Amino acid sequence: MKIAVLGSGNGGCAVAADFALKGHDVYLFDFEEFNENINAIMKNGGIFVDGDFVGFAEIKYAGHDIEKVITGADLIMVVRPAFGTKLFAEAAKGYIQKGQKIVICPGSCGGSLIFKKGLGLELEDESIIVSETSTLPYACRVIAAGKVHIYIKLLGGIYLAAIPSRLTENVLIDLKEVYPGIVPAKNVLQTTLQNGNPVIHPAVTLLNAALVEREKGDFYFYEEGVTPSVGRLMEAVDKERIEIGKKLEIEIIPNPVLGLIQGYMQESNYDTGYSKGRGFKGIKAQSKLDNRYMNEDVGYGLVFMSELGKQIEVETPIMDSIINIASVIMGKEYREMKSRTPETLGLSSYTVDELINVL
């Protein structure tokens, strides 16, 4: 297959390399301001990979010509943080053809809805299948230009949903070879809610905020940063997320249980499950507070869940408290920024029943 990968960061490089090592023709795009990996990959002719899997992945093209990357691609993998979703949709619009399948990987809070809207397509349009995964299928970091380290590739617990969800199997079939652990979700609300990052990252960051600032990230985010009190805070957030899921008839798997399934963890708890987990070893903290752990996982993730909770009458006092305090310490009014809310996803007028049935 021709695979288009949009995004050349940690996740984009891992996805591109994984598909290429499975023998697919991979074309990689990023915007001109992100050219470090692109240039190295172009020069080397591919991506060096080490860690959980190892090799040199030949990449057919790495560059800034989105038309060349998208045209004729069977599968378009969009791999970027939440704030980039709309930008990629705008760049891709006009080049995407009927019959192409798009995977927002990961959805990072309803990314498939944002992308579809960004392409100018109605929710009901089935000519192009837009889907999303619940999580990035790797813990990975670019450790040098054109070289990605895979801490782990997830064994399972990767959910996929298309819009509408009865099209999910059409995409799943193309992903199974590279991601044998991928399973269908009920709908994109499940992939969005099953994303564990908003449960994990803000809690760890908040209770280590002074240390992040003081040490500029020079400590291990999970191994050192997760203590029993951090675990209790993650658990409290997770409980609220699970309640939101219940109201929407979606069973949300608690984070530590999913961590076992994915291979991140060896113990199913909110404390040593993280601090001793195989998939969390060696990951340094963010170098400053102004980072996606807050900007994405609070500004998009928790704000979205809290607003969704309001809409369907599920209380989220702990999420709300984290949003409030994060807003103060970051000097950003995350809730008022409305980066991702049921409204921005076009879902704010739906009742619980409509949310369950439309998607």
Nearest C-alpha neighbor of 5 from the set 181, 151, 185, 148: 148
**Contact call for residue 357 and a second copy (CB under 8 A):** no
Q: Using only C-alpha atoms, what is the Rg of the chain?
A: 19
Q: Alpha-carbon distance 298 to 285, whole Å?
A: 17
Both tokens of 142, joined, read 């670019």
Residues 185/160, Cβ–Cβ less than 8 Å: yes
Q: Alpha-carbon distance 7 to 43, whole Å?
A: 18
**Contact call for residue 272 and a second copy (CB under 8 A):** no
Nearest C-alpha neighbor of 26 from the set 49, 1, 54: 1
- Residues 288-307 touching a second copy, rule: CB under 8 A, are 289
Distance, C-alpha 207 to centroid of its chain: 23
Q: Confirm whether 74 is a catalytic residue.
A: no
**Contact call for residue 40 and a second copy (CB under 8 A):** no
Considering only 89, 318, 355, 359, the residue that binds a second copy (CB under 8 A) is 318
Q: Alpha-carbon distance 94 to 108, whole Å?
A: 24
Q: Confirm whether 149 is a catalytic residue.
A: no
Task: Kindly state the smallest distance separating residue 279's Cβ from a second copy, in Å.
Answer: 20
- Residues 201-230 touching a second copy, rule: CB under 8 A, are 204, 206-211, 213-214, 224-230
Task: Kindly state the smallest distance separating residue 235's Cβ from a second copy, in Å.
Answer: 8
Half-sphere exposure of 148 (CA within 13 A, CB side): 29
Rank residues 54 and 328 by Cβ distance to a second copy and give the closer one. 328
- Residues 76-115 touching a second copy, rule: CB under 8 A, are none
Lay out the site mask for a second copy across 227-246 (x = CB under 8 A, - = otherwise): xxxx-xx--x----------
Q: Alpha-carbon distance 133 to 197, whole Å?
A: 13
Task: Kindly state the smallest distance separating residue 278's Cβ from a second copy, in Å.
Answer: 21
Task: Kindly state the smallest distance separating residue 333's Cβ from a second copy, in Å.
Answer: 12
Residues taking part in catalysis: 201, 297
Question: Residues in the site for a second copy, rule: CB under 8 A?
Answer: 204, 206-211, 213-214, 224-230, 232-233, 236, 289, 317-318, 320-322, 324-325, 328-331
